Amino acid sequence: MEEMSSNFIHDIIDEDIANGFSDRIHTRFPPEPNGYLHIGSAKAIWINYQTAKKYNGLFNLRYDDTNPSKEDTEYVDSIYEDLNWLGAAPTGGVYYGSDYFDKCYEFAIKLIKEGKAYVCDLSADEMKEYRGTLTEPGKNSPYRDRSIEENLDLFERMKNGEFPDGSKTLRAKIDMASPNMNMRDPAIYRILRAHHHRQGDKWCIYPLYDYAHPIQDALEGITHSLCSLEFENHRPLYEWVVDNIGFEKKPKQREFARLNVTYTVMSKRYLRYLVENNMVDGWDDPRMPTICGLRRRGYTPASIFDFVSRAGVAKAYSIVDIELLEHCIREELNLSAPRRICVSDPIKVVITNYEEGKVEYFPVSNNPNDPDAGTRDLMFTREIYIDRSDFEEVPPPKFFRMRPDGEVRLMGAYIVKCNEIIKDENGNVVEIHCTADLESGNGMPFDGRKIKGTIHWISAENADKVTLMVYDKLFTIENVADIPEDKTYNDYLNPNSLVKIENALVEKCLATANGGDKFQFVRNGYFCKDTKYENTYNKIVGLKDSFPKK
């Protein structure tokens, strides 16, 4: 993982170090375990991990497990796996927000005793009504002036389960006329009876994120709480919690623009909907923007972080072209992926002047961009297969592949001439008979004639059947934020996001490939052997790069 270049966050940190704010840097990544991480999460991971690394600091993984109704150990395990696969192991340790529940409760008692928090009986709708608007101040809750003793008693009884879910909240007493809506006496505890994946049934009250998160940061010694821009208006509340609880060492919250990608939905709620309604093949469906989906498709940690790095760190909203992500993996695999032959839509070709039972081997490059990759021997026999798209009975202009009475080069081997076409009862071409120029093996003919076309092929004796999964964008709309109000994400699902090609042929040497191994299938694109299904290859990206070069 390359070191992160300087950005406005590092400018802030440099100034903090110069001013004596801290002599060490400690960051964290705080995912809620209510779904799988996605490409947007990768940006937050990269910024926090690389910032800590740059300043020789520490990086924590802390699960924000304060909402038990949506959380699951499946998500806890997947987050840890993804983080380590990305190469961002938590150097500062792994923590759980729920392990701080006792401290959060203790600090809530402190706020009540100091007259800075109160128990409120307003319903959610009533609280919204009392909150006011962006142009009008809110009004005080009728329960705002309860005595400290009454608040302590009610909060204790909330903890003991004496009241129904949602019937009471504990609210911070700040300012109902504040221009920042988040400061208008926000709720910091709610009653919720739900089994917690880690704490079991110990608690029936749970702290809200805006209250729990700054406490967790302060207790862990986090110096810079780096988060996405939607939390910018929450920063005053973050600072209020830290100040009023009285932490000596106070973390700083700073915000950056989240990662938005064309043709991509980042909503975990909607991604879960796709999974639960069997509209995709699980969270790791290669069309999904999840880290595990990208991994299964064949993307690498280096390509993902390269993409995030090129997208940049800024405060302004922007949307990044998904073709940049494709460019990053294509650029990497062009240098590293072994080349192999795959005939996706095979049609048999018989070399009629080639002796039956004869076998020859032609050396072909494993990767022309890698001098150390060497060569392999490609078997040649009387019967071979070519791709159906490489033959035209009535060719269009400038078609230089196989055609009646035309010559074409078999890649790395002989020049052949099409002499006869065999069709079935429906008029479909099922077999092509050719003759080979047996003096032209892997070289131009001696008589000087020029052969313009070269096609790939595979020997019938060197071919195994596989399934190809060819993926396209999951959505048809470039900017999912532009969906009209009367439409939903479902209206823009791409019906052609997956094309399954069965009975494709690949070289037999691929029988030893492991799940996750990546190859360039010559003239087809880059493919990854699937980790879920046997004899299946997922298309990572095509050969053609349309991303503009600068």
pLDDT of 371 reads: 87
Identify whether 218 is part of a domain. yes
Identify whether 496 is part of a domain. yes
Query: Which among 146, 268, 295, 401 is annotated as catalytic?
Result: 268
**CA dihedral angle for residue 121, residue 122, residue 123, residue 125, rounded to 10 degrees:** -170
Q: Are residues 297 and 158 in the same domain?
A: no
Asked whether the predicted pLDDT for residue 550 surpasses 60, the reply is no
pLDDT tens figures, 203-218:
999 999 999 999 999 9
Identify whether 550 is part of a domain. no
pLDDT of 425 reads: 93
Q: Is 81 a catalytic residue?
A: no
Buried residues in 432-454 as b, exposed as e (16+ CB within 10 A): bbbbbbeebeeeeeeeeeebeee
CATH of the domain at 95: 3.40.50.620
pLDDT tens figures, 159-168:
999 999 999 9
pLDDT tens figures, 296-332:
999 999 999 999 999 999 888 889 999 999 999 999 9
Query: Which among 103, 258, 348, 417 is annotated as catalytic?
Result: 258
Q: Which of 256, 283, 315 is the last residue of a domain?
A: 256
Q: Are residues 399 and 485 in the same domain?
A: no
Q: Are residues 516 and 409 in the same domain?
A: no
Identify whether 462 is part of a domain. no
Q: Are residues 315 and 358 in the same domain?
A: no
CB 186 within 8 A of CB 208: yes
- Can you give the residue range of the structural domain that contains 181? 8-256
Residue whose token pair is 């909240």: 169
Q: Are residues 35 and 162 in the same domain?
A: yes
Q: Are residues 67 and 144 in the same domain?
A: yes
Q: Is 310 a catalytic residue?
A: no
> Where does 36-100 have alpha helices with state H?
39-54, 73-85
User: What number is the average pLDDT over the span 48-73?
Assistant: 94
Identify whether 64 is part of a domain. yes
CA atoms within a 13 Å half-sphere pointing along the CA-CB vector of 428: 5
> Where does 379-522 have alpha helices with state H?
none
Identify whether 208 is part of a domain. yes
pLDDT of 449 reads: 78
Length of the chain: 550
Q: Which residues of 150-295 form beta strands (DSSP E)?
A: 169-172, 187-191, 205-207, 224-228, 252-256
Asked whether the predicted pLDDT for residue 547 surpasses 70, the reply is no
Q: Is 162 a catalytic residue?
A: no
Q: Which of 455, 479, 503 is the last residue of a domain?
A: 455
CB 184 within 8 A of CB 175: yes
Record the pTM.
0.93
Q: Are residues 161 and 272 in the same domain?
A: no
pLDDT tens figures, 338-355:
999 999 999 999 999 999
pLDDT tens figures, 71-117:
889 999 999 999 999 999 999 999 999 999 999 999 999 999 999 99
Residue with the larger pLDDT of the pair 444 and 205: 205
pLDDT tens figures, 479-516:
998 999 999 999 999 999 999 999 999 999 999 999 99
Q: Are residues 334 and 350 in the same domain?
A: no
How many structural domains comprise the chain?
A: 3
Cβ neighbours of residue 401 closer than 8 Å, sequence gap 6 or more: 390, 391, 392, 395, 408, 453, 455
Identify whether 1 is part of a domain. no
CATH of the domain at 312: 1.10.1160.10
Tokens in use for 303? 């390509």
> Percent of the chain beyond pLDDT 70?
98
Pairing of strands 383-387, 346-351: antiparallel
Q: Are residues 349 and 219 in the same domain?
A: no
Asked whether the predicted pLDDT for residue 540 surpasses 80, the reply is yes
When the pLDDT of each residue in the chain is averaged and rounded to a whole number, the result is: 95
Q: Are residues 289 and 361 in the same domain?
A: no
pLDDT tens figures, 241-282:
999 999 999 999 999 999 999 999 999 999 999 999 999 999
Identify whether 549 is part of a domain. no
Q: Which residues of 328-442 form beta strands (DSSP E)?
A: 339-340, 342-343, 346-351, 360-365, 375-380, 383-387, 407-410, 415-423, 429-437
Q: Are residues 245 and 142 in the same domain?
A: yes
Q: Which of 425, 455, 485 is the last residue of a domain?
A: 455
Q: Give φ, ψ of 146 to 5 degrees.
A: -55, 150
6 — pLDDT class (breaks 50, 70, 90): confident
Q: Are residues 496 and 363 in the same domain?
A: no
